[in-house]
Amino acid sequence: MTEQTPGPRRSLFLLCVFAGLGMVVLCSLGAWQLQRLAEKTAFLERLSAQKALTPAALPAEALWGKLDLDASDLSRVRLAGTWLPEASATVRVVMPEPQPGERKLGGFGRYLVTAVRLDAGGIVLVNRGFAPEARHAGLPPPSGRAELTGILRKPEAPNAFTPAADVARRDFHMRDPASLAAAMTLSAAPFMVEAERGTDAMTPPVGVDFIDLIARIPNNHLQYAFTWFGLAATLLGVFLVFARSLRRQTGVSQESAL
């Protein structure tokens, strides 16, 4: 009687190790997507609830340094002050193209940003809304009184694909109030306010609308979770089939050696 050679046993052991590691990684990614699903769902529910809330007064300048921007992001606020038309900039953006029958603007364009000197003190940058690329240059910045309702937004962070800004022309690719204010030689709030849309979605600049904003935020985490868990199940199935085949081959080899 011949003993089983260590080769098949070692192969099966290595296969178990790699399959186990793969399962751990794939299941961890699936669990992470479920966590992101819960976070995104709570975020969208909070955003939906903001539509029905009465806008709060913009935080006082003395509180800006202590403000939790993550917690305050997307809060409805109101402000009053004076437009500073000389302190204006643009942020390049691509908006979803309107569907057939929709009366709203989309495609390549710019966010139009202008500073407001608040009656209560301090300066805040206001994103007045979206204008198509072919039309933004013909829209002069506002002047005089500024009284509006909007959404407080935390700064956007750049990534590896964010183009460099043209500071001289005040042309940017992300809504970062610190960078925009520096180009305007201003000291401004560490957040921006996006003006809410009125009834007209065809006359630029078109402000933000809660329903439209929610529709633009993807929430595909459940699909991603199913994908990762499905890959884990597939890996397990392949491992079981291969392990069974290996054990069968080993058994045949042992019988042949008897």
pLDDT category at 14 given cuts 50, 70, 90 is: confident
DSSP string over 203-235: SSSB-B-HHHHHHHS---HHHHHHHHHHHHHHH
Peptide bond before residue 142 is cis, with ω within 30 degrees of 0: no
Look at residue 156 in the predicted model and tell me its pLDDT: 94
Contact 193, 126 (CB under 8 A): yes
pLDDT at 94 over 50: yes
Mean pLDDT of 201-225: 86
Look at residue 1 in the predicted model and tell me its pLDDT: 45
pLDDT at 5 over 70: no
Q: Give residue-wise pLDDT tens across range 39-73.
A: 888 888 888 887 778 899 999 999 999 999 998 99
User: Greater confidence, 36 or 2?
Assistant: 36
pLDDT category at 25 given cuts 50, 70, 90 is: very high
Report the chain's mean pLDDT, rounded to a whole number: 88
Region class of 136: left (phi > 0), else alpha (psi between -120 and 50), else beta = alpha
User: Greater confidence, 138 or 252?
Assistant: 138
Contact 73, 154 (CB under 8 A): yes
Q: Give residue-wise pLDDT tens across range 126-156.
A: 999 999 999 998 899 999 999 999 999 999 9
Residue 130 neighbours by CB distance under 10 Å: 24
Q: Give residue-wise pLDDT tens across range 165-205.
A: 999 999 999 999 999 999 999 999 999 999 999 877 788 99
Q: Count Cβ atoms within 10 A of the Cβ of residue 74 and give its class: 0-12 exposed, 13-18 middle, 19 or more buried.
A: middle
Task: Specify the pairing of strand 107-118 against strand 76-95.
Answer: antiparallel
pLDDT category at 74 given cuts 50, 70, 90 is: confident
Strand partners, 84: 115
d(CA 158, CA 208): 22
Q: pLDDT > 70: what percent of the chain?
A: 93
SS3 of 134, please? Answer: coil
Q: pLDDT > 90: what percent of the chain?
A: 62
